[in-house]
Chain A
Amino acid sequence: MSTAASPAKAGHSGAEGTDAGTTVIQDSTCTFCGCVCDDIDITVKDNHIVDAKRACVLGKAWFYNHHADDRPSCLIEGRPASVAEGVERAARILTEAKYPIIYGLSDTTSEAQRVAVGIGDTIGGTVDTTTSVCHGPSGMAFQDVGEVTCTLGEVANRGDLIIFWGGNPAESHPRHFSKYSLMPKGMFVPNGRKDRTAVGVDVRKTKTAKAMDLFFQIKPRSDFEALWTLRALAKGIDIDPEQVKNDTGIELSRWQDLMVRMKAAKFGVILFGMGLTMTRGKHLNSEALLCLVRDMNAFTRFVAKPMRGHGNVTGADNVVTWQTGYPFGVNMSRGYPRFNPGEYTTSDTLARREADAALLIACDPMANFSQPAREWLKSIPYIALDPKDTPTTRSATVAFTTATYGINTPGTVYRMDDVPIYLRPAFPSSHPSDFDVLSAIQRRVAELKT
């Protein structure tokens, strides 16, 4: 039934230049963060990456620490097993469960994501991705009001007023400034940084704040009020200076000055992060920002861009959407997709003790989820796929060590701005890919379900 293409297609490992046992692969793609830089030249020696030209500190750590190892490809209850045994056990766990969930998917190829959603369909499970604990709230805001956005090349070529709100790209997306948002000499910003005004809005004076021309250190948990202050200013609505100072910690005059600059910009950009989605208000914070940007388009061109954290979380949104119609938190228990954040999202299905089995791919909820969710996860049978040894894999009933996408396996990923990029792997791995393992599970699950 599924004809999902294997990502192991010929012609994509662009190995060039071999010299004394080393190979250089140009235009390789780093998938650690949402920047998905595809201009990395990596040098491979003895199945180790020894150089990653142009990679940032996170990218270097990514490339240098994913090398061939001889860990078992499969552990069942902590004991080495064959992949086939692991697949069998995984398929049984998933088909015997009443409310199986599938979660993660942000650090794997879209080819693998497509198979994972297919498994969810076959078992009538719930499919969710790390989006639900990242920019899921922004996705909900987008469903309410829409979004005005662009690809990153537009930011590089046109953006002259760049606002970073509730994020710290200097530490989370180190090459963003130089590659996309502040430094590039673009078509309409030929002097690069000099043609741009950089503005930061955050509660801490982070490394990012120090790179800004203007910084607004707002009161914690006042993003909503700050954004609505700007919306009021954009529309010329009178607001009480005392209330603004009280609510946001910043003088109204400073916000007024910012609005003047925003209206004077040729192409304004607001890049926003977890400071909005993870704090009180959540999707209402994101919504306020998306509305502000939409409002600004009456005066000048303005766009918003959520800063996506992982290499292919955008791909996860895309794949789940095109296959089911909904981006995350999708339940298929009744044989067709239903969507409801808060009901079908994984933080909830775990914390409320509804899930009785899980398939976790390329994620680490045992490290990152809430305490009640983690406690429940520990108590249910689950399968984990990850190239690394993590708290999640250590407590899994079935743990697969899989090949690393972009380093060992080819495949498609989507950058934070939805641009699809194909991965050039550096060297093969002895471990199976996520795609291989998931395809095997899907086949077995389909057999068990008939």
Chain B
Amino acid sequence: MTSGYFKIAGGTVYDPLHGIDGERRDIWIRDGKIVEPPSDPEVRSDRTLDASGLVVMPGGVDMHCHIAGPKVNSARKMRPEDKRKGEKVVRRAGTRSGTVGSVPSTFATGYKYAGLGYTTAFDAAIPPLAARHVHEEFEDTPCLDKGFFVLMGNNHYVMQSIQRNEPERMRSFIAWLLGAAKGFTPKLVNPGGVEVWKQLPSGNVHGLDETVANFGVTPRQIIEQVARAVDELSLPHSVHIHCNNLGMPGNWHTTLETMKTLGDARGHLSHIQFHSYGGGEADETTFNSKAPPLVEYVNTHPNLTVDVGQVLFGETTTMTADGPLGYYLSNAFKSKWFSSDTEMESGCGIAPIEYKNTSLVHSLQWAIGLEWYLLAADPWRVVMSTDHPNGGSFLAYPQIIQLLMDRTYREDMLKQVHPAVLERSTLGGLSREYSLYEICIITRSGPAKILGLKNKGHLAPGADADITIYTPNDDKTRMFELPRAVIKSGVVIVDQGEIREPLTGKLLYVSPEYDTGIESDIAEWFEKYYSIRFRNYQVPLDYLHEAEEVPC
């Protein structure tokens, strides 16, 4: 007779949401959830995993990565050379083959994330016209629960509602659009700037108060009003923002202005490292770190959260919904360039890149990312990311952990980068080392909380049974590269590096309420300008393999 319980016994548990910092505890699992231990002490678990001496954490949550959809797939298509010599994912009895490189194929993506102990991942930027494509790729990306952010910062209906001073209409539209695509929150990428790119060669916005021609709105208006709408809709996650002027020297002003524009509204600024640069007007020779004042602002404004967007040296692929940025990068590096403008909604730019430690700019980028982690006062609001694959692959997360936990390792790497980093950033003087507790926060508990996922990122009864078990090791890269076991929805999916059971995972989405009266207005606008029919745009629930609505 089975009890249905699975017990993880005697592990050294980290559950920062509940203040548990390396305590020896049991964890009970039943029906895919973490549960209270059985009240009857005679009840035995069907299976016990002896975790004595092992580190137990909730499953990893990557809240900002690019893993599915037309942009990611175009990058895969465009870069066969990136995979030819790279790691091969060989087909086994229960698993599919795949390729890795900087943009892994879907099955490989799922297996590799799971292999690192991640059980949830969110794609950062999807044009809703391509929602079905993402859902299909997600179904072929196993081992992870998934969701995505919906691009809205250059959406024509959003901009027109702002221009007409109709915030209720805009709010209803946002709610409708999230439900139509089965997405998670509005994503603003270079708000207003991509529309200018569509209108002019090398077109872009350079400041928050520039007006987008033919739409009569400014980036500041888009940011402020969408953020407000998101809070009014009580979405679990805030508005998610890729600020204007990414990558430009001096862009820290834009970033600070964006933060100020948000006021008290919640806001998440993504890959903040790329937005923390001092320096003259497009003048790289004075390029320097302005992470300290920005960190200070975030420290003192609890409504703000960020993910870092760490750069690591080596080859990777930049991919962004920021169309003009893709053009700029491909010109700067004389590389091949993919660009695609999605009607009414967004753009996209893809260009290969190589970050070199001999480059002043790249070395500073690397340093600035680390400054953010090391200067931040509240680890709950500074999340680890590489903006995979833009700063580097998610496969480098263990290396970042070691850089944060091991000062000697960090200082050794600092010696090998461009020496100007010492004058132009504060990294040289930062001796902080992250604890396991803090690593747990920035890789799972924090992002789960920021996303508003009440059943992720912690280990109390009610949580999804997504758990990672690590073997302690002074070599932190090694420790985090090869978990002892990974449990997803109560099933051991990875055991000592082998994929045992690649579950499909579920889609996490929101469906906020809205005044359905708006639909006829949306439909009229839609039929006028879109190239598909309104009825064929929305993704019905039964299209999805398994989905969970996260309440607003």
Contact = CB atoms under 8 A, between A and B. Distances in A.
A445 interface: no
A10 B532 CA distance: 21
Contacts, number: 205
Contacts of B99: 324-326, 336-337
A322 B343 contact: no
B313 interface: no
B105 interface: yes
Given A324-B105, A336-B90, A38 B330 contact: no
Contact of A420 (B101, B104, B130): B130
Nearest to B139: A5
Contact of A324 (B97, B339, B343): B97
Interface residues of A, number: 76
B418 interface: no
Interface stretch (B2-10, B355-363, B537-545): B537-545
A121 interface: yes
B12 to A, nearest CB: 34
Contact of A146 (B83, B336, B529): B336
Contact of A151 (B81, B341, B351): B341
Contacts of B38: none
Given A146-B330, A337-B105, A151 B531 contact: yes
A317 B108 CA distance: 18
A415 B198 CA distance: 22
Contact of B93 (A303, A323, A450): A450
B342 A3 contact: no
A100 interface: no
Interface string B327-344: 100100000111111111
B76 A322 contact: yes
Contact of B137 (A143, A322, A336): A322
Contact of B140 (A152, A188, A322): A322
A303 B543 CA distance: 32
Interface string A284-328: 000000000010011111010000000000000111011111110
B76 A325 contact: yes
A154 B198 contact: yes
A412 B343 CA distance: 20
B199 interface: yes
Given A324-B97, A337-B98, A421 B532 contact: yes
A150 B342 contact: yes
Nearest to B341: A150
Nearest to A35: B531
Contacts of B338: 142, 146-149
B18 interface: no
A319 B133 CA distance: 10
Nearest to A300: B201
A325 B529 contact: no
Interface in B90-134: 90-91, 93-99, 101, 103-108, 129-133
Contact of A317 (B77, B502, B540): B77
Contacts of A124: 91
B91 A3 contact: no
B163 to A, nearest CB: 14
A153 interface: yes
A157 B530 CA distance: 9
Given A187-B529, A298-B201, A301-B200, A322 B106 contact: yes
Interface string A111-125: 000100010011010
Contact of A336 (B89, B351, B504): B89
Contact of A5 (B79, B535, B545): B545
Nearest to B340: A149
A450 B350 CA distance: 41
15 contacts: A3-B545, A9-B543, A38-B532, A114-B136, A114-B140, A143-B80, A149-B340, A156-B531, A157-B344, A157-B529, A318-B70, A321-B73, A326-B77, A332-B91, A335-B88
In the A-B complex, the 4 residue pairs with the closest CB atoms: A153-B343, A325-B99, A153-B531, A420-B132
